[in-house]
Amino acid sequence: MTAVASLAERLACIDCHATYPLTYRLECPACGGLLELRYAADVMRREGPALLSGTGLWRYAAVLPIADPAHRVTLGEGQTPLLDCPRLAAALGVRRLLLKFEGTNPTGTVKDRSSATAVAGALQFGLRATSVVSSGNAGSSIAAYSARAGLRSLIFAYERASAPKMLHMAATTSDFVIYRGVYDDLIGHWDRLVERRLFFDCGASRNAYKHEGKKTLAYAIAEQTAFDPPDVIVAPVAVGETFIATARGFAELHEAGWIARVPRMIAAQAARANAVVRAFRAGTSLEPLRIGYTVAEGLAAGDPGRKGDWTLRLLREGKGLVGDAEDEEILAAQGRLARTEGIWAGPTGVAALAVLIKLLATREVDAAQTFCVIVTETGLKTEAPPPSRAGIAFDAASLERLVTERLAR
């Protein structure tokens, strides 16, 4: 099979709209604004979804910025299920509830989408090492994809990351550093170090090439709904990468005429790290927060920075909505999803569902609409005390008694 050509044409500043060639550049040299990738929209309109070919993330290579197929690193990411959840929908009283379950990615999280394009970008621009500051998921994902591509990775991991995340990072990275404090404390210093080009920027703050991998969420949801996407998409927001990328994907699909309308976007945050929610509700600009620990470790960013501003802009332009959930509500949603639909997602992953449950309870959303919640991580990386390990010794009679009693309940 012939590899699909990338339709990426240029980088464009989201603030002043100046455009630049496809080099490794993180900001607009004219105004300092963030950059986004632009594609040949005329070709997308003319060719339609026939541009897509193959499976997994690189099925969407036409709308990703990696020109050389040799650079398209993969561990089999993408092709995650879009799960119809009729029992949970009935319990919540909504017409239709779909979950885009990203826990089936190779490292168990949505990060694999952006890690694939980030590490591909490192290869494309000739860097030999990658680095990221992580609460856990991005660290193990960047480490795994870097190893897969034969690159070194310098992973900075949050000291309170769950034990399974720690084990995973330590196993896959070439250089592992544990940091004290929250993400915001380190990311400012690290972002400045990025300028020295010692490593490829695999952080969530600025790199358009990395960011772009998550755009495939929109393409996958569109394809999985026969290009008639749900009315509403609920996406989690830490610094805003997943939210912005998904919104951009749907905007591109709409511009190319592949979908007739753009879903409404809901930004979901942990109540303990809700800077975007506060600013949106107050109608103000973003005010960074000093935050502590939240069980939604991947959402623990008190200062979403310029992507937070970008998220707010998209919310305001697109008539979006926001919501946040307390840790207890997130854990309750985690257990409810597991029991009702058999989907075991981590707290970071299930926060968006907890937010939707709240918005339905307060009638801030219309239950007659169709909803898709992006559930970003597996529950297998969750750290929690196990159920009681006290075992029962059986003989034939006591076993029969227990089985008949339990099933009669």
The mark string for 33-62 relative to Zn ion (x by CB under 5 A, - otherwise) is: x-----------------------------
Residue choice 4, 11, 12, 13 for contact with Zn ion (CB under 5 A)? 13
Nearest distance, CB of residue 33 and Zn ion, angstroms: 4
User: Which span sits near Zn ion by CB under 5 A: 5-13, 246-254, 358-366, 390-398?
Assistant: 5-13
- Runs of H (alpha helix) within 173-299: 183-194, 208-212, 216-224, 241-255, 275-282
Residue 292, φ and ψ in degrees, nearest 5: -110, -150
Nearer to Zn ion, 208 or 359 (CB): 208
Nearer to Zn ion, 32 or 292 (CB): 32
- Cα 129 to chain centroid distance, Å, stands at 23
User: Which span sits near Zn ion by CB under 5 A: 24-32, 92-100, 172-180, 304-312?
Assistant: 24-32
Task: Rule CB under 5 A: say whether 198 interacts with Zn ion.
Answer: no
Task: Rule CB under 5 A: say whether 31 interacts with Zn ion.
Answer: yes
Nearest distance, CB of residue 121 and Zn ion, angstroms: 21
* Joined tokens for residue 403: 């089985």
- Four-point Cα dihedral 386, 390, 393, 397, nearest 10: -80
Residue choice 4, 28, 149, 286 for contact with Zn ion (CB under 5 A)? 28
Nearest distance, CB of residue 244 and Zn ion, angstroms: 17
Nearest distance, CB of residue 168 and Zn ion, angstroms: 38
The mark string for 102-141 relative to Zn ion (x by CB under 5 A, - otherwise) is: ----------------------------------------
Nearest distance, CB of residue 255 and Zn ion, angstroms: 21
| Residues of span 372-391 touching Zn ion by CB under 5 A | none
Nearer to Zn ion, 305 or 346 (CB): 305
CA distances from 351 to 191, 274, 366, 375 (A): 27, 12, 20, 8
Nearest distance, CB of residue 205 and Zn ion, angstroms: 16
Task: Rule CB under 5 A: say whether 29 interacts with Zn ion.
Answer: no
Rounded to an integer, what distance in angstroms lies between the CA atom of residue 98 and that of residue 327? Answer: 23
By CB atoms closer than 10 A (0-12, 13-18, 19+), residue 129 is middle
Residue choice 16, 163, 260, 402 for contact with Zn ion (CB under 5 A)? 16
Three-class SS state of 156: strand
Nearest distance, CB of residue 170 and Zn ion, angstroms: 40
Strands across the sheet with 82-84, in order?
82-84, 96-101, 370-375, 232-236, 264-270, 321-325
Using an 8 Å Cβ cutoff, are 14 and 36 in contact? yes
Instruction: Count the neighbouring beta carbons within 10 Å of the beta carbon of residue 388.
Output: 6
User: Which span sits near Zn ion by CB under 5 A: 31-39, 194-202, 236-244, 376-384?
Assistant: 31-39
Rounded to an integer, what distance in angstroms lies between the CA atom of residue 24 and that of residue 11? Answer: 10
Nearer to Zn ion, 5 or 31 (CB): 31
User: Which span sits near Zn ion by CB under 5 A: 18-26, 88-96, 117-125, 205-213?
Assistant: 18-26
Three-class SS state of 373: strand
- Runs of H (alpha helix) within 274-366: 275-282, 305-317, 327-341, 347-361
Nearer to Zn ion, 17 or 197 (CB): 17
Number of residues that bind Zn ion (CB under 5 A): 8
Using an 8 Å Cβ cutoff, are 386 and 120 in contact? no
Task: Rule CB under 5 A: say whether 30 interacts with Zn ion.
Answer: yes
User: Which span sits near Zn ion by CB under 5 A: 7-15, 71-79, 127-135, 297-305?
Assistant: 7-15
* Residue showing tokens 């942990």: 270
The residues that touch Zn ion, with contacts defined as CB under 5 A, are: 13, 15-16, 18, 28, 30-31, 33
